[in-house]
Chains A and B, each alone.
Chain A
């Protein structure tokens, strides 16, 4: 899959320009512009109702933008000569007739583009659906539905993949599989645009993040920037000499929170720094964990003002 940015700069790119979508009086997406690039996984993150699905539906022409436009490889989706070869989309695990078998569903989708039975069997194998391919989709679990959706998206071996919440309903093994799968697709030079409302999932899968809140882009940056920019690293320390350690750590830029006996939550010092300090003073450390929850916090901090449905904190 050769890609040369110098030859065709739009190849493999999803480009939205001033994209808006209103449903009656409600604005789902408001004037967003972004570019999704090949060779990396771009995470599309936002709380439920932020407009992620609507944006993805506009990319593949299911919803018509109220304003603006969005292109794939420089063309509107409907103008593509072979849409399934250029874009594979999983928008909804339930976009399948429940009365048809998985194999026949894929066969019918493939037929539109003259894609043969051998490729249908390949994508069934690829997604691990061999044992249920002959069963009607109505009896599928959400996880199997997701796999079938991914199989359909892969039929045309597309250079761009658009996956809306692909890990929803998957078991841990399935989640891991999707994560490796999209990483692999991106490593092959494909464009992968992946939505989720879970920051933790994105931190593990995506290279680049576009964060959406209330229909507007809050952040469009590499994942590492989002994480480091959002909050400072937090470290959980468990030690029998916790109070001594807390005294030693005390500094203007360091915050120490004692959550329970023998446990500290330290902000402002790396885990390595805490470990070194304890070693120098001969203090025992039972646990030293950089808290990945800071990612969630970065996300919460970003979307705090942009959550559509907020719940009161449980006390």
Chain B
């Protein structure tokens, strides 16, 4: 053994002993999320969609003044108009967040990365919790930022028509934070589905089916009990979290209120993540 190269000899120096910790797993998942181009692109698309659609909506409102001349309307109605135009982008943003949530885990299965992940975190569940926490935090922040930017863009455009949003109106913060919260929960819900199905195509199809198709199909079924269940669909309840202030005139006394809707969405998310946890623990990786 005379040809041992110097780098090999280097291994003799012991690395400082550290331990596996949940904080470490969180850090690891954050590195994993931010070092994939798909994440960066998804977030850029969400922000661009939110702002872009808000600007288009604001211009069409300004030019057509679809709901009459708002410049003379009370301040809270003006604020509400700006909010309406800034929240439209969430229809598309939720789809991007859903796809991101699925591939955050299915990408590990399709590439084989999951075996590295589970070798480093052999108890497995901490890796799932950490992924959910990091994904939620990132998508919530990006969601709030994109909706905030959309609100700012709408305000600027509509200011040209003397329609001014009142930032002090609590509805503004509640709606934008609620929208961001929904986007974060969409991503975590999708993460659970992706973990159960372990396939990008299957996971995306399942999540989009549940989010987009289920409410539509329920509308088409004439049975009363199906109609009674409609507010409990994931995306229907999700929109009810933040859209209350957008339709103050609508009398929504029959359905769940914003807090109840949040509870419904959380139940969906909990079911999805619980299913993922059981299967992750039980299956061979």
Interface, chain A (partner B; CB < 8 A):
1, 57, 60-64, 77-78, 80-85, 89, 91-92, 94-101, 104-105, 107-115, 119, 122, 125-126, 128, 152, 154-157, 177, 180-181, 183-185, 187-188
Contact = CB atoms under 8 A, between A and B. Distances in A.
Contacts of A63: 284-285
A42 B250 CA distance: 74
Given A113-B19, A114-B18, A114-B19, A95 B116 contact: yes
Nearest to B18: A114
A180 B3 contact: yes
A124 B32 CA distance: 18
A10 B23 CA distance: 30
B66 interface: no
B18 A111 contact: no
A85 B20 CA distance: 9
Interface in B2-54: 3-5, 7-12, 14-15, 17-21, 23-25, 27-29, 31-32, 35-38
B122 A61 contact: yes
Interface residues of B, number: 45
Interface in B188-222: none
Contacts, number: 144
B115 A92 contact: yes
B111 A94 contact: yes
B107 interface: yes
Given A100-B113, A114-B24, 4 more contacts: A97-B107, A109-B116, A180-B8, A185-B11
Among B5, B23, B38: residue with most chain A CB under 10 A: B5
B267 interface: no
Contacts of B27: 111-112
Contact of B32 (A1, A84, A95, A108): A108
A97 B10 contact: no
Closest CB pairs A-B (n = 4): A111-B28, A114-B18, A104-B35, A157-B15
B7 to A, nearest CB: 5
Given A97-B36, A119-B15, A61 B3 contact: no
A95 B28 contact: no
B18 A115 contact: yes
A291 B32 CA distance: 51
Contacts of B5: 177, 180
B122 A100 contact: no
Contacts of B9: 184
B72 to A, nearest CB: 54
